[in-house]
Amino acid sequence: MPKLLLGVSGGIAAYKALEFVRLATERGHSVRVIQTPSSKRFVGSASFAALTGAPVLTSEWERDPLRGAFPGEPLPQHDPASHLALVSSADLYLIAPASANTIAKLAGGLADNLLLSAALAADCPLLLAPAMNHRMLGHAATQANLALLRERGVSIIDPDSGRLATHGEYGAGRLAAPAALLEACEAALRTADGAWAGRRVLVTAGGTREAIDAVRFIGNRSSGRMGFAVAAAAADRGAQVTVIAANVALERDPRITVIDVESAEQLAAACERQAPSADVIVMCAAVADFRPTTTHDGKISRSDVDRLAVEFEPTEDILASLAAARRPGQTLVGFAAEHGPQGLERARDKLARKQVDLIAFNDIADPSIGFDARENEVILITAAGEQQLAKAPKQEIAEQLLDAIENLAA
C-alpha cells in the first residue's frame, strides 16, 4: 500500500485537498496529513482526520499518537521526531496547495513549521502544487523560486487557469484538479523505483546560429523535436532532466530545466558547466561545424558592398570534448545526421573517432525524417552492434533510444 504524505498550506484551495485525500484512499493509498497553522483557517484538521483515519499534525512540538506510522502499520516502540518520522516513512510527499509563501520558504531552505521541516528531510519524491492569485504566481520572485526548486529535483504540478477566489478575477493560479494531483503522484511513484529514477540526464536540442552581422546568421533547420522528445521520455522515467536548447521554439515541459543558447560557443560553455554532474548525456543538437571568423557589429548594407565574402573557421568539437573529459560511469550518446549513401559509414567512424557509447544515425536525405519532421528513422550504433529503429514518431524513437541506453549498463 503506497504511503502518501500530504502537506496543506494556507489558501482557499485547501478545500480541494480533502477531495484529493478521498480519491487517494479510495485508490488504496495510505495518507497522512500535515497542515500549516494558517491552512486551518480554511479547512479544519478534523475533516482530514476523518478521511485518512489518522491524526493530523501541525507543529513539531505536538506528539504524534501514531509515532510516525501510517494507517494500518504497527506503532513503533519509541516516539520519534515527527518532522523526520512521517516523511521518512512516506513513499511520496505532496504539498497541495503550495502557497507563494511556502514556495519562497522552500526555495530559501527555511524550516519554520512542520510542513517545511518535513520537506527538507524528504528522501522520497517531493511534489508541489502551487495555488495563488495570478499576479502572485506571475511575480518574478515566485517564478524564480519555482525554477530553483525544479533545478533541485522538485516536481511542480502546474496550476490551472480559470476563475480565481477573488471576485471577478480570472487567470492562472487555480490548484490543479484533485484527480490530476493524484495522477501526478501515481506517475511519480511508478518512476521512483525505476532504473532512471534520480539519474541526471543532460540533453542538447535544436540548431545553433552563427552570427554574420547583427541581423544575419548561418544556421540549420533543426527544430529540437528529437531532443525534446528524448528529454520528455527521460522525465517520464523519473530522471532529473536538463535541456540545453539552441533556438528551440517548442512548448516547454515544466518538469524539465531548459537553458537557452544561440551559438555553438554558448552551447559548448553550457555543456561544460552541466556535463560534470550528468549521468547520461544525449547530444541531439545540430551544432554548426564552422562559424564566420569575423562578426560585423552592425548590419552589412547592400549599398556598401558589391560582393560579400564570408570566411569561416571551425567551431569546437563539443562531443569530442565531452568524451575526453567525462568521468567514470557517465554515458555519452551522439547523433549523426548524415546525408546520402555514405552516411552510415561516417556514423560508424564517428562512434570510434569520438569515443562515445552510442551513435544514433539518421539519413536526412529523406525529408520525411529530416529536420523539423515529426517522425524519425534511426540506426543505433554501439561497439557491440547495430539496431535498426523503424520509422516512427519521435516520441517512440526516444523511448527506444532510452531502452538502448539502459541496456548499455546491463
CA distances from 142 to 5, 25, 245 (A): 24, 32, 23
CB 83 within 8 A of CB 7: no
Instruction: Give dist(CA 395, CA 374) in Å, integer.
Output: 9
CATH code of the region 3-192: 3.40.50.1950
Look at the block and give the residue holding cell 556514423.
347
Phi, psi of 14 (to 5 degrees): -60, -25
Q: What is the pLDDT of residues 338-386, one digit of tens each?
A: 877 788 889 999 998 989 999 999 887 777 777 778 888 999 999 999 9
108-167 pLDDT, tens digit per residue, is: 999 999 999 999 999 899 999 999 998 999 999 999 999 999 989 899 999 988 887 776
Strands 160-163 and 155-156: unpaired
58: which 3 cell numbers? 501541525
Average pLDDT over residues 254-273: 94
- Whose cell is 545526421? That residue is 337
Whether the per-residue pLDDT at 200 is higher than 90: the answer is yes
C-alpha closest to that of 408 among 92, 120, 195, 112? 195
Distances (CA, A) of 80 to 69, 73, 88, 189, 400: 10, 15, 11, 25, 45
Question: What whole-number distance in Å separates Cα of residue 373 and Cα of residue 367?
Answer: 8
| Confidence (pLDDT) at 339 | 77
Same fold yes or no, 3-192 and 200-408: yes
Q: Mind spelling out the 3-state secondary structure of 97-121? A: EECHHHHHHHHHCCCCCHHHHHHHC
pLDDT digits (tens, 9 = 90+) for 24-52: 999 999 999 999 999 999 999 999 999 99
CB burial of 109-127 (b: ≥16 within 10 Å; e: otherwise) equals: eebebbbbbbbebbebbbb
Sign of CA dihedral 343, 345, 347, 353: negative
Cell numbers standing for residue 346: 561516417
Give the residue numbers annotated as catalytic, written as ranges. 220
Does domain 200-408 fall into CATH 3.40.50.10300?
A: yes
Q: pTM of this prediction? A: 0.59
DSSP 365: T
Closest C-alpha to 21, from 247, 146, 182: 182
Under a CB-based contact definition with an 8 Å cutoff, are residues 180 and 138 in contact?
Answer: no
Calpha distance 258→237 (Å, rounded): 18
Q: How high does pLDDT run on average in the chain? A: 91
Query: Rounded CA gap, 108 and 410, in Å?
Result: 39
Break the chain into its structural domains and give their ranges. 3-192, 200-408
